[in-house]
């Protein structure tokens, strides 16, 4: 039986509790029978895999490999996964470099099948790195089964910091936010934007996102969210607005919190 994360409250109050208990809950989750079986099998067998074909032919290994990068839903797309992994990331024409979804780039880069004669799977620390990422992502999914907003908040750190560290322009980072479903949901909700804004011209969307970020967080670039305080403010506003949008339960408290919060920025 898999450990079910404990989230006693919705909204930002629940987030505060989750943050305080996350390390303990993650440890308990990692010891769940199913997670233990998955990770033990991966640790004991991944070093025998030398190419993409061998990886995709082993369902249990592929499950952990994809799960570590949040690509669980692509478990049956074996031909596509094999092609992405086989081409690697060093060639500009490789599929991983062309995809908008950069999770595949990270996957291909991590395994290194198309980049080197000897893949990263033989490295002594490789299993632990992938297993740690798998455990973290699966915990996020388990949290999301109870509260999707909490999952998006947990996922924010990895996705957003990945963009901050990305070698691109300020505009490029905003376009990446707009093209990433999870990040876009967080920013749209926190900034009080309707989903219909996505139908506007990209340059118009860019202006709106920048202006709203300046209004609520006093920053206009994605890179400025490298500040932990700014990221926490983003999460706080996202969760409060999410709770407010979810219905009448807790609406009064959420409305009061929103008024106080937006007035304090």
- For 195-208, how does the pLDDT look when each residue is reduced to its tens digit (9 = 90+)? 999 999 999 999 99
In order, the DSSP letters of 60-87 are HHHHHHHHTTT-GGGTT-HHHHHHHHHH
Contact 68, 74 (CB under 8 A): no
Buried b (16+ CB within 10 A) or exposed e, 195-213: eebeeeeeeebbeebbebb
In order, the DSSP letters of 162-215 are HHHTSSS-HHHHHHHHHH-HHHHHHHHHHTT--GGGGGS-HHHHHHHHHHHHHH
Contact 138, 29 (CB under 8 A): yes
Compute CA 95 distance to the chain's CA centroid, rounded to the nearest angstrom: 21
Residues 4 and 9: their CA atoms lie apart, in Å, by: 15
Residues 47 and 126: their CA atoms lie apart, in Å, by: 9
Find the helix packing angle between 33-45 and 59-67, rounded to 10°.
Answer: 110
Contact 186, 152 (CB under 8 A): yes
* 239 half-sphere exposure, CB direction, 13 A CA radius: 24
User: Which tokens go with 172?
Assistant: 């490029």
Q: Is the dihedral angle over the CA atoms 72, 74, 76, 78 positive or is it negative? A: negative
**Tens digit of pLDDT at every position of the chain (265 positions):** 678 999 999 899 999 999 999 999 999 999 999 999 999 999 999 999 999 999 999 999 999 999 999 999 999 999 999 999 999 999 999 999 998 788 999 999 999 998 988 999 999 999 999 999 999 999 999 999 999 999 999 999 888 888 887 778 999 999 999 988 999 999 999 999 999 999 999 999 999 999 999 999 999 999 999 999 999 999 999 999 999 987 655 455 555 544 444 555 5
The structure's pTM equals 0.86
User: Which tokens go with 42?
Assistant: 């991966």
> Looking at domain 11-133, does it have CATH number 1.10.3700.10?
yes
Find the helix packing angle between 11-30 and 148-164, rounded to 10°.
Answer: 80
User: Which tokens go with 205?
Assistant: 């969307």
Domain with CATH 1.10.3700.10 in the chain: 11-133
Contact 8, 14 (CB under 8 A): yes
Q: Is 100 helix (H, G, I), strand (E, B) or coil?
A: coil
Residue 223 has phi, psi (to 5 degrees) of -60, -25
Residues 206 and 179: their CA atoms lie apart, in Å, by: 12
């Amino acid at each position: 039986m898999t450990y079910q994360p404990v989230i006693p409250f919705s909204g930002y109050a629940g987030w505060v509790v989750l943050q305080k208990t996350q390390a303990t809950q993650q440890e308990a989750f990692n010891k769940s029978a199913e997670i233990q079986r998955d990770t033990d099998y991966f640790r004991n067998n991944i070093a025998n895999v030398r190419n993409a074909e061998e990886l995709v032919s082993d369902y249990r290994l592929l499950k952990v490999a994809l799960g570590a990068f949040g690509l669980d839903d692509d478990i049956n797309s074996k031909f596509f996964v094999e092609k992405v992994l086989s081409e690697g990331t060093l060639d500009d024409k490789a599929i991983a470099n062309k995809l908008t979804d950069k999770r595949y780039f990270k996957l291909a880069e991590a395994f290194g099948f198309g980049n080197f004669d000897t893949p990263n799977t033989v490295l002594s620390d490789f299993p632990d790195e992938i297993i740690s990422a798998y455990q973290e992502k699966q915990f996020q999914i388990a949290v999301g089964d109870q509260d999707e907003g909490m999952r998006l908040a947990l996922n924010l750190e990895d996705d957003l910091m990945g963009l901050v560290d990305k070698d691109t322009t300020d505009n490029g980072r905003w376009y990446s936010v707009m093209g990433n479903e999870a990040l876009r949901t967080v920013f749209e909700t926190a900034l009080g934007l309707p989903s219909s804004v996505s139908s506007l011209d990209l340059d118009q969307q860019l202006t709106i996102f920048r202006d709203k970020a300046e209004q609520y967080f006093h920053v206009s670039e994605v890179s400025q969210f490298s500040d932990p305080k700014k990221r926490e403010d983003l999460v706080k506003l996202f969760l409060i607005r999410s709770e407010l949008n979810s219905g009448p339960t807790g609406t009064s408290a959420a409305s009061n919190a929103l008024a106080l919060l937006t007035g304090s920025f």
